[in-house]
């Protein structure tokens, strides 16, 4: 006796799945779709909710595979009460976005344990569609959108399967029909996206702020910018209308920090009154003007890091975002950006600003906290005693500091370590006189302290420096890793002057824009060694795709909608015109749909048309029938009337019936209209030929 060989486990499992009853198969498919919909929420849900949902879905899958009974109603009520209590304990409320999404996920998972009838499945479908929408409360990024398109496709496929109780339609056929449904609905979706009025608060999620990734801060301590340099996410995207400025002149001005407590730099106190420094005093070089368009990512601070110098902003910005250009050239907003902001303006890389004559408010920029960094203060006093610098102006002193940085062996590094003693004091002493290594904020803070000690007004400016051009689409990307800090000092007759100490110790960082980067991981290093250009090319392609998504989808604002209407011929469109155009298109689409439905109702099934012609042909030979006579009944009557002479006619009629009603492993989803018209015409010709040989009455 030959022993039977057992199949490999994956093959055996697949064979078992293929032989499952249709109800079990459809249930498993629906559970897989629900798991796909819930998975992106794992980062937002409490840990207990993620675990409970996974356990519920696995429990329901096991019941479907084994054909076991579903849990009782009281068991479900107990789990529901437990989930509600856990939600209230976790979020301290049952209201709001986070608590609502948690409860919705739990309800969907629990509802799968009640899949007893078709109506239960419909509840799961519609809860799943609603759950798809909740993902966009957290992120509208391109990967999330693609994942949700797949989720909608899967839910529609499950919905198609639920409406087909006869036979065993394959998942491929149901998925194909669901894809056609999506394609048919795509034009309506595009029209609604383009023209549906963006009227707050019906559009968007104000105050969400969870996508805020830009890492600039209103506080600066030694090491904070170096930490931000490890973040390679995009802070803003630019497009220049004309030649792009050279890297060494591309500065993006963020928070300006003027107050120093010995450990941390902060902006000026809001209530501080500085006479003579109340309004921006700008003198741009008109010949250096550069037109640009910028898309700012959400920020954590209420400062817009725009290219220097941007003296004005265009109209049409969000009404609830009040912007103001301060005297220190910061563009401050009434609130941090909660979503992307796109604007177009002009920058002047060559400019002067600030008072050219001494004013009382400048004395605030020479203040230093007592008791900090005594060795640095002593070194500054020694510089002043040098006959060459005793009467030197601010420009001369600044250049002397840069020469010292170049000649004294200072090092530019991302990992300088922690500076200062246990209380964080005397960090500037340690930088200047001991360790002599640091990142841009170390050099900027150290130079600012020395300039103030030399009685030169000085402050720190934070922001970004340089940009990376994407060769695929031509856009310039400013990443959070391009965060930078530099110095501004005041020179009589010129005003505030930019001084970037990083250019003295690491000129490649400024002139050729080669920022420091952390060492790559093992996988990235291996890929880089095998295919040096592949990683960079893939990165550029993905970033170009992501930029297009941000520009044309996420930034499709009311202004762009009105611009679209102007392209359509309206001279001064308003949102009322937008509504009218949208209503007109919807009415036209409704009329087109009604016309298509009318045509479908009058459209004759080819199989029924063939049967009607066969009845008419046999009626001419004396065999009466009506519209309810089936082919098999018609064949029986023909055999009864003509006997063996009707055998060929009978065969044709039975073959026609077989085309319609014969069992198939996978019947066509679209019914008899998918039958070949040529096959039906051939049957009709055969019947007419055989009918000529029938005996007359």
Is pLDDT larger for residue 271 or for residue 449? 449
Which residue matches tokens 């931000």? 228
The pLDDT of residue 667 is 46
Q: Who contacts 205 (Cβ-Cβ below 8 Å, separation ≥6)?
A: 137
- Reply yes or no on whether the pLDDT at 593 is more than 90: no
> Is the four-CA dihedral 103, 108, 112, 114 of positive or negative sign?
positive
pLDDT for 102 equals 87
How would residue 499 be classed by pLDDT, with cut points 50, 70 and 90? very high
Residue 332 or residue 279, greater confidence: 332
Query: Which candidate, 267, 248, 198, places its Cα nearest to that of 462?
Result: 267
pLDDT of residue 384: 87
What is the residue-wise DSSP string for 539-561? HHHHHHHHHHHIIIIIT--HHHH
pLDDT for 202: 44
Paired sense of beta strands 341-347 and 290-296, if any:
antiparallel
What is the average per-residue pLDDT within 198-225?
58
The angle formed by the CA atoms of residues 264, 269 and 270, to the nearest 5 degrees, is: 145
User: Residues 329-347: what's their mean pLDDT?
Assistant: 86
With 0-12 / 13-18 / 19 or more C-beta atoms within 10 angstroms meaning exposed / middle / buried, residue 499 is buried
Inter-residue contact 373 to 426 (CB < 8 Å): yes
Pairing mode, if any, of strands 234-240 and 290-296? antiparallel
Q: Distance between CA atoms of 447 and 405, rounded to whole angstroms?
A: 10
DSSP sequence for 230-297: T--SEEEEEEESSSPPPGGG-EEEEEEE-EE-SS-EEPPPTT---TT-SS--EEE-GGG-EEEEEEEP
Average pLDDT over residues 450-470: 92
Residue 196: per-residue pLDDT: 72
Q: Which of 153-162, 459-468, 541-550 has the highest mean pLDDT?
A: 459-468
Provide the β-strand partners of residue 214. 299
Residue 8 in this model has a pLDDT that exceeds 60: no
Evaluate if residue 692 carries a pLDDT over 80.
Answer: yes
Per DSSP, the three-state class of 333 is: strand
Distance CA(381)–CA(174), nearest Å, equals 83
Q: Which whole number is the average pLDDT over 279-307? A: 88
Tokens of 349: 């890389």
Is 213 a residue whose pLDDT tops 70? no
Q: What is the rounded average pLDDT for all residues in the chain? A: 80
Region 223-247 average pLDDT: 80
From the list 462, 277, 272, 470, the residue with the least C-alpha distance to 355 is 277
Secondary structure letter of residue 643 according to DSSP: G
Secondary-structure percent of the chain, ordered helix, strand, coil, rounded to 5: 55, 10, 35
pTM score: 0.68
Which whole number is the average pLDDT over 307-317? 85
| Domain extents in the chain | 9-195, 224-518, 523-554, 558-602, 606-691
Q: Please state, as a whole number, how many other Cβ atoms lie within 10 Å of the Cβ of residue 526.
A: 11
* Overall average pLDDT of the 412-419 stretch: 75
Comparison of pLDDT for 499 and 674, the residue scoring more:
499
Higher pLDDT, 288 or 317: 288
How would residue 674 be classed by pLDDT, with cut points 50, 70 and 90? very low
Q: What pLDDT is attached to residue 2?
A: 47
514 contact partners, CB below 8 Å, separation of at least 6: 508
Between CA 279 and CA 108 the distance in angstroms is 57
Q: Is the pLDDT of residue 159 over 50?
A: yes
Over residues 565-592, mean pLDDT: 77
Please answer whether residues 204 and 261 qualify as being in contact, where contact means their C-beta atoms are separated by less than 8 angstroms.
no
Q: What is the pLDDT of residues 73-99, one digit of tens each?
A: 888 888 888 888 888 888 888 888 888
CA 396 – CA 388 distance, rounded (Å) = 10
pLDDT of 399 higher than 90: yes
Q: For 352-371, write each residue's pLDDT tens digit.
A: 998 988 888 888 899 999 88
Region 18-28: mean pLDDT is 76
Segment 628-644 shows an average pLDDT of 88
Nearest to 694, CA basis, from 618, 612, 614: 618
Instruction: Decide the pairing of beta strands 437-438 and 411-412.
Output: parallel
Give me the pLDDT at residue 524, please.
54
């Amino acid at each position: 006796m030959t022993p039977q060989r057992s199949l490999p486990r994956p093959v055996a499992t697949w064979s078992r799945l293929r032989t499952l009853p249709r109800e079990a198969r459809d249930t498993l498919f629906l559970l897989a779709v629900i798991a796909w919909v819930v998975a992106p929420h794992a980062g937002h849900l409490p840990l207990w909710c993620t675990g409970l949902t996974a356990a519920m879905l696995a429990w329901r899958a096991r019941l479907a595979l084994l054909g076991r009974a579903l849990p009782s109603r009281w068991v479900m009520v107990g789990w529901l009460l437990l989930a509600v209590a856990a939600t209230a304990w976790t979020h301290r409320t049952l209201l709001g976005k986070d608590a609502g999404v948690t409860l919705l996920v739990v309800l969907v998972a629990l509802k799968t344990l009640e899949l007893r009838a078709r109506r239960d499945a419909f509840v799961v479908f519609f809860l799943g569609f609603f759950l798809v929408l909740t993902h966009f409360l957290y992120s509208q990024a391109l990967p999330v959108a693609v994942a949700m398109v797949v989720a909608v496709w899967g839910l529609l496929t499950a919905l198609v399967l639920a409406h087909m109780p006869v036979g065993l339609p394959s998942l491929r056929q149901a998925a194909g029909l669901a894809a056609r449904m999506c394609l048919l609905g795509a034009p309506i979706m595009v029209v609604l996206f383009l023209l549906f009025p963006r009227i707050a608060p019906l559009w968007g999620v104000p105050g969400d702020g969870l996508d805020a990734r830009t890492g600039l801060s209103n506080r600066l301590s030694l090491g904070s910018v170096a930490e931000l340099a490890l973040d390679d996410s995009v802070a803003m995207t630019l497009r220049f209308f004309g030649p792009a400025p050279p890297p060494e002149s591309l500065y993006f001005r963020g928070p300006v920090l003027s107050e120093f407590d010995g450990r941390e730099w902060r902006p000026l106190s809001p209530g501080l009154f500085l006479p003579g420094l109340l309004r921006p005093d700008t003198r741009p070089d008109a010949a250096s003007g550069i037109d640009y368009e910028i898309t700012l990512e959400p920020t954590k601070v209420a400062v817009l890091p725009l290219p220097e110098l941007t003296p004005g902003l265009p109209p049409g910005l969000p009404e609830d975002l009040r912007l103001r250009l301060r005297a220190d050239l910061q563009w401050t907003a009434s609130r941090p950006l909660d979503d992307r902001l796109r604007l177009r303006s002009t920058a002047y890389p060559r400019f002067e600003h600030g008072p050219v004559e001494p004013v009382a408010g400048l004395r605030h920029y020479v203040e230093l906290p007592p008791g900090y960094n005594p060795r640095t203060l002593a070194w500054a006093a020694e510089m002043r005693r040098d006959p060459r610098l005793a009467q030197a102006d601010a420009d001369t002193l600044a250049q002397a500091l840069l020469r010292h940085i170049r000649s004294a062996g200072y090092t530019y590094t991302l990992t300088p370590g922690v500076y200062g003693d246990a209380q964080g004091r005397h960090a500037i002493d340690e930088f200047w006189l001991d360790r002599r290594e640091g990142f841009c904020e170390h050099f900027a803070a150290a130079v600012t302290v020395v300039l103030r000690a030399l009685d030169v007004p000085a402050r720190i400016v934070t922001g970004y420096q340089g940009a990376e051009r994407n060769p695929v689409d031509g856009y310039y990307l400013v990443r959070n890793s391009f965060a930078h800090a530099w110095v501004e000092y005041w020179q009589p007759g010129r005003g505030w002057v930019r001084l970037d100490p990083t250019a003295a110790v690491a000129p490649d960082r400024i002139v050729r824009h080669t920022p420091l980067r952390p060492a790559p991981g093992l996988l990235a290093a291996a890929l880089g060694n095998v295919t040096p250009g592949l990683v960079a090319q893939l990165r550029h392609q993905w970033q170009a795709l992501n930029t297009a998504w941000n520009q044309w989808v996420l930034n499709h604002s009311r202004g762009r909608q009105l611009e679209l209407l102007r392209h359509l011929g309206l001279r001064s469109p308003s949102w009322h015109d937008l509504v009218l155009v949208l209503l007109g298109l919807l009415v036209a689409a409704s009329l087109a749909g009604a016309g298509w439905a009318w045509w479908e109702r009058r459209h004759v099934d080819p199989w029924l048309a063939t049967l009607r012609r066969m009845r008419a042909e046999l009626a001419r030979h004396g065999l009466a029938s009506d519209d309810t006579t089936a082919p098999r009944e018609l064949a029986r009557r023909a055999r009864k009337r003509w006997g063996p002479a009707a055998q060929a006619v009978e065969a044709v009629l039975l073959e026609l019936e077989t085309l319609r009603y014969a069992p198939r492993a996978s019947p066509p989803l679209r019914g008899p209209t998918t039958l070949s018209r040529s096959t039906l015409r051939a049957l009709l010709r055969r019947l007419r030929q055989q009918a000529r040989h029938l005996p007359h009455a």
